[in-house]
A and B are shown apart, each in its own frame.
Chain A
């Protein structure tokens, strides 16, 4: 697997906190991490702060979860710390399921110790002695680097019995995912850790009350953890000085799609999408027109030109009909069909629905079929209403976050690109030229030299025309196989 591309710092818009060491240190050498103040925060907290004081630092910093929901991390730790139990667990969610994102993988591969240090800090704060990293089996390099990092940390006494000689014991083990998106949801993740099918259960009880093996468990995302040591080193005030009123610090995004520069970026909360796309991303490829940017992956929505100047933070993205999600950011241009994009995400949700509850299992399938009908020219106006109604029902009645958010790509494209749905349904046209069933093959008279190549290639004899004369496709007979277009050397056959 190739290393992830970190986008260089083309302008001063980026600040590196979570990615501070990625590409800077050798992740397989603990000394290099220590050279960057690694494990200093752990030493400082264990020897200088009580758990309650340490939790206060995290609360004051204002950091919120980077795994999707944006729940305040300090508050979560406080809940877990207040639930008394003989045994508690610290879990790192490294299941990274968004199908267009690789932030967590980059952190684990580039700076695994930062996550280990943060988990030990969390263990101290909530009173846990055992940590688990639940990582996708599809990330072999990250797994390898974590194993190396864990054994080095044990050797140096940063993990194991009596960390820093303080009497605080903490150790970390790995648990492997096996390719199920829903296992990123924290209750599913816990079931999967227990060796079961990764199906979610209703919350409450939250993991902080009853998690792994029924014990209080704190689950945080990789990127959330990667921020923690820095917060202790530089202070809550420093961290909360970055970002917007309600969203502090930075966020890592995987910028991809139709922009010139693609890769991982880390920007302070509050930058605008325009800055990200045009200044960091270098604008749209091939001089095409911007159409939309999708954030939040399969749970998110598409934002348009009108949203480009809104400062990115948790609340603003939700207000525009999308969400922060884990950090996928896909830019689309005039050649992308928004109905097809909605269908793409629905296809993902259908495949990944665990099947436990019917609104998600059946409803998403029906949504997908409606979109399929529309994309193949069989849609009616009623289908558009059906899409909206069904979406609302699925959102309201699904058991877990997957079903509760899977209709978002449909709703946001309906809101922002209603005209595209209409043109698919009423005019049977896909203006972006993506939905093949809605397009037809034509021969451009000016380019046709009458070589007969297309007519000979056509399997159904749909093309007529004498040698050296302009040819014509009979659309009644044409089965849209595309053979003529492949064979024509003069670009005379077009699809529109």
Chain B
């Protein structure tokens, strides 16, 4: 699990307890508990997983096994502006890969990473259902369609007016 230990505050442990209670501390509700916890904390650090394991009376390994199985769950915090590039088939056929490479180049980061200043994180999505606008990029809730590599710089700058 992640090496940096974080100290959960009392209100945070309480919050997790409330979430677990709201699902009756049922083992079968683990995925729902994880969804709610991630919604609250933004991600699922080891400490949160351990607490959930304790509450649901299952092993931490089991919780960890589920967290790592599903790509929706993350053990690292997302950036303030999460950038997702659709790499579904329609977007791929219309050049998503070159757009992705441009983001990697401009931001000097890889897929799955969060920048150290916490501003951006980069991830890939599979089909957001806007294939007509392929290739598609999402930054937070905002969607950009027909993105060309040349547009990438401008998109990043929207979130960083002072430049990189």
Q: Does A pair with B?
A: yes
Which A residues are within 8 Å of any B CB, using their own CB?
Answer: 1-2, 4-5, 97-102, 105-106, 137-138, 175-181, 192, 194-198, 254, 256-258, 262-263, 294, 297, 328, 330, 332, 336, 341, 344-345, 348, 354
A interface footprint on B7-25 (CB within 8 Å = 1, 0 otherwise)? 0000000000000000000
Kindly state the separation between the CA atoms of A332 and B95 in the bound complex, as whole angstroms. 12
User: Once the chains are docked, how many angstroms separate the CA of A454 from the CA of B75?
Assistant: 45
**With A and B bound together, what is the CA distance between A294 and B131 in angstroms?**
15
Q: B100-131: which residues lie under 8 A (CB-CB) from chain A?
A: 125-131
Beyond A99-B88, A180-B70, A180-B71, whether A192 also contacts B31 by CB under 8 A is yes
| Set A4, A137, A198, A297: member contacting B69, Cβ < 8 A | A198
| Residue from the list A97, A100, A138, A263 in contact with B72, Cβ < 8 A | A138
Are A178 and B35 in touch, CB under 8 angstroms?
Answer: yes
Q: Which residues of B contact A180 (CB under 8 A)?
A: 69-71
Report whether A179 and B70 are in contact in the complex, using a CB–CB cutoff of 8 Å. Answer: yes
Say yes or no: A178 contacts B126, CB within 8 Å. no
29 contacts between A and B (CB under 8 A): A1-B128, A1-B129, A1-B138, A2-B129, A4-B129, A4-B130, A5-B131, A5-B132, A99-B88, A99-B89, A100-B88, A100-B90, A100-B127, A100-B131, A101-B127, A137-B72, A138-B72, A138-B128, A177-B70, A178-B70, A181-B126, A195-B29, A195-B30, A254-B90, A256-B132, A258-B93, A262-B90, A263-B131, A294-B89
**Given A178-B31, A195-B28, A195-B66, residue A100 in contact with residue B89 (CB < 8 A):** yes
B34 interface residue, CB < 8 Å from A? yes
Contact in complex: A254, B131 (CB < 8 Å): yes
- If A195-B31, A195-B66 touch, does A330 touch B72 (CB 8 Å cutoff)? no
Residue on A with the closest CB to B88?
A99
Does B65 have its Cβ within 8 Å of any Cβ on chain A? Answer: yes
Which residues 18-71 of B have a CB within 8 angstroms of A? 26-32, 34-35, 65-66, 69-71
Q: Note all chain A residues with C-beta closer than 8 A to B126.
A: 97, 99, 181, 348
List chain B residues, Cβ under 8 A from A4.
129-130
Docked complex Cα distance between A105 and B127 (Å)? 11
Tell whether, in the assembled complex, residue B89 and residue A330 are in contact, meaning their CB atoms are under 8 Å apart.
yes
Complex: A179 Cα to B72 Cα, angstroms: 5
Tally of contacts, chain A with chain B, CB under 8 A = 112
A-B pairs with the 8 shortest C-beta distances? Answer: A100-B89, A102-B129, A178-B70, A256-B90, A179-B72, A99-B126, A195-B30, A178-B72
Q: Which residue of A lies closest to B30 (CB)?
A: A195
Given that A99-B87, A195-B27 are contacting pairs, would A263 and B132 also be in contact in the complex, using a CB cutoff of 8 Å?
Answer: yes
| Residue in A closest to B71 when the chains form the complex, CB atoms | A179
Check if A98 sits within 8 Å of B127, measured CB to CB.
Answer: yes
- Determine whether the beta carbon of B73 is less than 8 Å from that of A256: no
Q: In whole angstroms, what is the CA distance A263 to B130 when docked?
A: 8
Shortest C-beta distance, A455 to chain B (Å), equals 23
Q: Tell me the bound Cα distance from A5 to B69 in angstroms.
A: 32
- State the CA gap A330–B87 with chains docked (Å): 14
CB distance from A334 to the nearest CB of B (A): 13
Asked if B92 lies at the interface with its beta carbon under 8 angstroms from chain A, I say yes
Contact A194 B28 (CB under 8 A): yes
Residue ID in chain A nearest B86 by CB atoms: A99
B90 contacts A257, CB within 8 Å? yes
Chain B residues in 8 Å Cβ range of A195: 26-32, 66
Is B156 an interface position by the 8 A CB rule?
Answer: no
| A330 to B28 Cα, complex, angstroms | 38
Given A99-B126, A176-B35, CB of A197 within 8 Å of CB of B69: yes
Given contacts A138-B125, A180-B69, A180-B70, contact A328 B89 (CB under 8 A): yes
Report Cα–Cα, A345/B93, bound state, in Å.
12
A residues less than 8 Å from B34 (CB atoms):
178
Residue of A nearest to B36 (CB): A176
B89 and A256: CB pair below 8 A?
A: yes
Q: Does B134 contact A (CB under 8 A)?
A: yes
Chain A residues, Cβ within 8 Å of B76: none
Most buried by B among A101, A256, A328, A348: A256
CA distance A177 to B89 in the complex (A): 21
Other than the given A1-B130, A2-B133, A177-B72, 4 more pairs (CB < 8 A) read A197-B65, A254-B90, A258-B94, A345-B89
Complex contacts, B32 vs chain A, CB 8 Å: 175-176, 195
Question: In the bound complex, do residue B143 and residue A2 qualify as a contact, i.e. CB atoms below 8 Å apart?
Answer: yes
Which residue on B lies nearest to A212, using beta carbons? Answer: B28
Pairwise interchain contact B31-A105, C-beta atoms closer than 8 A: no
Which of B26, B125, B127 contacts A102 (CB under 8 A)?
B127
